[in-house]
Amino acid sequence: MKTLIIPCAGKSNRFPNMKPKYMLTHPDGKLMIEKAIEHMNIDTFDRIIITIVKPHDEKYESKLIMEQVFKNNSKIEICMLDDFTSSASETICFTLDKMNVTWSIIIKDSDNCVYTQIPDTIKNAIVGYDLRKHPDISNIPWKSFLILNEQNIIQDIIEKDVISNIICLWVYSFENCEDFKRAYNQMKNDNIQWEMYISHIISYLIAQNRCVFVCNMATWYDDWWTLIEWKEVQKNYRTYFVDFDWVLMKNSWKYGTINWYNNTTFLEENVQCIIELQNKWAQIIITTSRPEEFRSNLEKLLNSVWIKPYTILMWMNHAARVVINDFAPTNPYPSWMAITLPRNASLKDYLSL
> What is the tens place of the pLDDT at every residue in 300-315?
999 999 999 999 999 9
**Burial class of 313 by CB neighbour count within 10 A (0 to 12, 13 to 18, 19+):** middle
Estimate the share of the chain in helix, then strand, then coil, as percent rounded to the nearest 5.
Answer: 30, 25, 45
Average pLDDT, the chain: 93
Tell me the pLDDT band of 215, cut-offs 50, 70 and 90: very high
* Choice between 42 and 289, residue whose per-residue pLDDT is larger: 289
| pLDDT for 272 | 96
Q: What are phi and psi of 318, to 5 degrees?
A: -80, 70
| pLDDT for 42 | 85
Tell me the pLDDT band of 117, cut-offs 50, 70 and 90: confident
> What is the tens place of the pLDDT at every residue in 257-280?
999 999 999 999 999 999 999 999
The stretch 36-51 carries a mean pLDDT of: 92
Q: How far is CA 174 from CA 108, 211, 269, in A?
A: 12, 9, 52
- Is 238-349 in the same CATH topology as 2-225? no
156 Cβ contact partners less than 8 Å away, ≥ 6 residues apart: 146, 147, 203, 206, 207
CATH topology of domain 238-349: Rossmann fold (3.40.50)
Separation CA 132–CA 120 (nearest Å): 29
| pLDDT for 122 | 92
The one-letter amino acid at 225: W
Rounded to the nearest 10°, the torsion over CA 42, 46, 52, 58 is 100
Q: Is the pLDDT of residue 149 over 60?
A: yes
Separation CA 95–CA 55 (nearest Å): 17
DSSP secondary structure, 114-159, as one string: EE----SS--SEEEEEEGGG-TT-S-GGGSEEEEE-TTSBEEEEEE
Partners of 49 in beta bridges:
5, 77
Domain 2-225: give its CATH architecture.
Answer: Alpha-Beta Complex (3.90)
| Peptide bond connecting 334 to the previous residue in cis, omega within 30 degrees of 0 | yes
Map out the domains of the chain as residue ranges: 2-225, 238-349
Tell me the pLDDT band of 351, cut-offs 50, 70 and 90: confident
